[in-house]
Structure formats: structure tokens, C-alpha cells
Amino acid sequence: MPNLLQVQDFKEAISEKYHKLDSFYAVADGLKLLLKHSGDCVIQNMFYNGWTHDHYVGNVFVFAPNGTIIACVPNAPGSMHDSVIADLGKLYNKFGAQYAEHGGLCELDSAFCKRYHPFLLKSAQNETNVTDPDDFIRLSQANSVRQASELGMRAFQGMFPRMEDRFMYEENGERRIMLLCTAYLFNIRTHKVSISQILSTHLLHINEDVNYYLQDTLNLY
């Protein structure tokens, strides 16, 4: 998770564009990846998702305004809800620790549990039910901020197109190691290349001069 100075920078990046969201520093979302069937019916049932009628590996990723993944819970059984994955992966505990330290909030969708978690804000499913103008603006901006998680997921899957293939079933932890490695590689590329839709959306103050960018950001000269 980011330190206090990084969180402060992330808060400022979001609040500069969305003035009603002055305490937010991250967005979270779930990602389900296809998995091959197991020969064991009990094991197969763990990874089966009845809503889509297929087998998956569940993951939860948390993105910062600079486009990097700051926390993740990979390789959970596909039958688990995103909120359960975040809970068992101690993600809520990490959010709570960050909230206790600097008051930072995380934006996410309706798949997560906000009850007993003051450090979370769900995007509104229906803004028309809100009567207070300030709350309406805040929820509308929250919906806009949550799109960063969609951009992050798209960038992550775009960097590793073979994620669309089905994972082999195994029980020795190779799949979890591979998913963690892809998250690390994604962050390395985002840091070094500095090209990300999340970054260009929330950090508009970056100098667009190419020579300045190459010299001071990538240190190529």
C-alpha cells in the first residue's frame, strides 16, 4: 500500500478534477479469469460461477491515480463474490489501516460490502433517488472516478492478452505466482513508460513537452 506522501498526492490528483471527492486515493474492482474444469466435482464446484455458467479464478485489484496496482488479491475460487475475496484477502483491513492513518477513502462498485467500512464509497446505481444537490454531485463524480478501475482492468488485460485463455487447473500455487508476477510487470511498465489512461485522466498537469518528458521522467538523456 502507498505511504502517507503518496496518498496525499493521489488525493490531490483526484480532488483537482472532482472537487467533491477530496479524500479519495484509489479505486478497486474484481476480475474473473477463465479456468479449465477439474476432474473432481467438489473442486469444480468451487470455481463454478452460476451466474455466467462457467469456471473462473477470482481476483481483486486496487488502482491508484498514477495507473499502478497498489494492492491485489489474486487466485480466489470463482464461486466467491468480490466482497468475500476482498475480506478473506485482508484487503478491507489494509483499507482500514490507511483510513486510520490519513483518512483516505477508496471508491468501488456495488459488488463490495460497505457496511461497517467507513473507508469505502460505492458508486450510485441510481442517482435520481438522491435529493440533496451536494450528494447528487458527489455520487455523480464518484461514478466518474470509478471508471478508472475499468480503465485499469482494460490496460492490465491488454498488456497480457493471453489472460483471455483458460488457465490450467493446478494445486501447487503456480497460478497465484504467475498472477502476482503479471501485477508486478504491469507496475514496472506503467512506471517506466508512464502511458496510462488513468494517468492521463487524473494527472493532467504532467508536462506534454516530449523532450522534457523523455529527459526528466524516463531519464533517457
> Tell me: the pLDDT tens digits for 29-73?
999 999 987 777 888 888 888 888 889 999 999 999 888 999 999
| 187, pLDDT greater than 70 | yes
**Helix, strand, coil distribution of the chain in percent, nearest 5:** 50, 20, 35
Does 219 score more than 90 pLDDT? Answer: no
Mean pLDDT of 81-92: 92
Q: Are 151 and 197 in contact (CB under 8 A)?
A: yes
Q: What is the pTM of this model?
A: 0.83
Query: Angle 123-194-178 (CA atoms, 0-180°, nearest 5)?
Result: 75
Residue 188: pLDDT band (50, 70, 90) is: very high
122 vs 181: which has the higher pLDDT: 181
Residues 6+ apart with CB under 8 A from 164: 34, 157
Domain extent listing, the chain: 4-217
Q: What pLDDT, on a 0 to 100 scale, did the predictor assign at position 169?
A: 79
pLDDT tier for residue 88 given thresholds of 50, 70 and 90:
very high
Strand, coil or helix: 88: helix
Q: Which amino acid is at 193?
A: V
> Which residues contact residue 156 at a Cβ distance below 8 angstroms, ignoring those fewer than 6 apart?
31, 61, 69, 163, 182, 183, 186
Average pLDDT, the chain: 82
In whole angstroms, what is the distance from residue 78 CA to residue 33 CA?
8
Residue 127: the pLDDT is: 60
Q: Give pLDDT tens digits for 128-182.
A: 666 777 777 877 887 888 888 888 899 898 889 888 888 887 778 888 999 999 9
Give the up-direction half-sphere exposure of residue 24: CA atoms within 13 A in the CB hemisphere: 33
**Which of 3-7, 27-31, 166-170, 202-206 is the most confident on average?**
27-31
pLDDT at 91 over 70: yes
What does the pLDDT average to over 171-195?
88
